[in-house]
Amino acid sequence: MTQDALARAAGITRQTIVALEGGHYAPSLELAMRLALVFNRRVDDVFFWREPPAACNA
Amino acid sequence: MLRIAMVGLISLLVGAGLATGTGVWPVRPGLIGLSAMLVSGLVVKRHWQRLRAVGADPGSPERALWHGLATTALVGGHLFASLWVIGPAMRLHSPLVHDTAIDNWTMVLGALLSYGLTRDREPRRDERDRLFAARGQRAGYIALIGQAVGLSLVLGYGAGTVVERLSQSMVSHLLISTLILAAVVQYAAQLRLYAIDHRHELTVS
């Protein structure tokens, strides 16, 4: 799926897809859920920490 | 960031330069400004079309911001320089002021026409654009408030200075100038956010 096709499916711009893929834009919960829906995946299958921030460790 | 500053500054200077030609040049400066906006609009449109072919074109909001920055700075530069030339005791219905107003409004028309040329035919914006817009509006608001405070102090404590000679129409045009400057600050602030994003794209890719 191209960036443009993904953007249209999720109702956002291609530039936002680029920003998301680059990891320098955090989507809103609604957007995250829409993107997960497009991929037919759970939200935490699409968006997850590679390294959880230290402040979040239990 | 440098590109944003250059576009703003060059547009401002071109506008200011056009103000020197009112009633002097054989062609109305307003028409020159209008033509310059249309020509540069066509050039920019071609450039964005080439970028679109490689998937690197700016989105609809960013295009509008570049256009807004360039045209607002140009119209503003013309207004600021004209007010300086006209002087504090500006009379609204004098030949020079009439000519200046016609030129300025001609350039506003040029800005509207060039927007029609450069706008994205399939405009799209999303939450990221709205976030950048909110931050830009905050910067514009701060710029406007800062100018309002400064202007109120100058007008309030300006007895015995050039402020005393300011005519009513000059004061009103100074207020208009603050709106134009605040708009330029807003556009530049939003474009800065897009520029930071693009820098990340280059780093990641």
The pLDDT of B86-104, averaged and rounded, is 91
Q: Three-class SS of residue A11?
A: coil
pLDDT computed for residue A53 by the predictor: 78
Confidence band, pLDDT 50/70/90 cuts, at residue B3: very high
Q: What is the C-alpha to C-alpha distance for residues A51 and A11, in angstroms, rounded to an integer?
A: 29
SS (HEC) of chain B: CHHHHHHHHHHHHHHHHHHCCCCCCCCCHHHHHHHHHHHHHHHHHHHHHHHHHCCCCCCHHHHHHHHHHHHHHHHHHHHHHHHHHHCCCCCCCCHHHHHHHHHHHHHHHHHHHHHHHHCCCCCCCCHHHHHHHHHHHHHHHHHHHHHHHHHHHHHHCCCCCHHHHCCHHHHHHHHHHHHHHHHHHHHHHHHHHHHHHHHHHHHHC
Buried b (16+ CB within 10 A) or exposed e, B52-76: eeeeebbbbbbbbbbbbbbbbbbbb
The pLDDT of B76-96, averaged and rounded, is 92
Cα–Cα nearest to B100, from B3, B8, B24, B7: B24
The pLDDT of B94-107, averaged and rounded, is 94
Residue pair B178/B76 in contact (Cβ under 8 Å)? The answer is no
- pLDDT of B59-75, one tens digit each? 999 999 999 999 999 99
Average pLDDT, chain B: 92
Tell me whether B121 touches chain A (CB under 8 Å): no
Radius of gyration of chain A from its Cα atoms, rounded to whole angstroms:
12
With CB atoms and an 8 Å threshold, state whether B126 touches A13.
yes
The pLDDT of B69-83, averaged and rounded, is 97
With CB atoms and an 8 Å threshold, state whether A11 touches B126.
yes
Mean pLDDT check: name the lowest of B86-95, B141-150, B181-190: B86-95
Q: What is the C-alpha to C-alpha distance for residues B80 and B72, in angstroms, rounded to an integer?
A: 12
pLDDT computed for residue B158 by the predictor: 86
With CB atoms and an 8 Å threshold, state whether A25 touches B128.
yes
Map out the domains of chain B as residue ranges: 2-204
Cα–Cα nearest to B193, from A17, A24, A20: A24
Confidence band, pLDDT 50/70/90 cuts, at residue B204: very low
Residue A54 is classified by DSSP as: G
Tell me the residue type at A23.
G
CATH architecture of the domain formed by A3-56: Orthogonal Bundle (1.10)
Angle between helices B2-19 and B95-118 (to 10 degrees): 140
Cα four-point dihedral sign A18, A21, A24, A30:
positive
Q: What is the C-alpha to C-alpha distance for residues B202 and B205, in angstroms, rounded to an integer?
A: 5
- pLDDT of A1-58, one tens digit each? 888 899 999 999 999 998 998 888 999 999 999 999 999 999 999 988 878 878 766 5
- pLDDT of B6-30, one tens digit each? 999 999 999 999 999 888 889 999 9
- pLDDT of B140-172, one tens digit each? 999 999 999 999 999 999 888 888 889 999 999
pTM summary value: 0.89
Q: What is the C-alpha to C-alpha distance for residues B171 and B154, in angstroms, rounded to an integer?
A: 11
Cα–Cα nearest to A12, from B63, B62, B194, B128: B128
Q: Closest CB to A13: pick one of B125, B201, B205.
A: B125
**Taking 50 as the threshold, does the pLDDT of residue B89 lie above it?**
yes
Map out the domains of chain A as residue ranges: 3-56
User: Nearest CA of chain B to the CA of A16: how many Å?
Assistant: 7
Cα–Cα nearest to B124, from B68, B63, B71, B72: B63
Tell me whether A52 touches chain B (CB under 8 Å): no
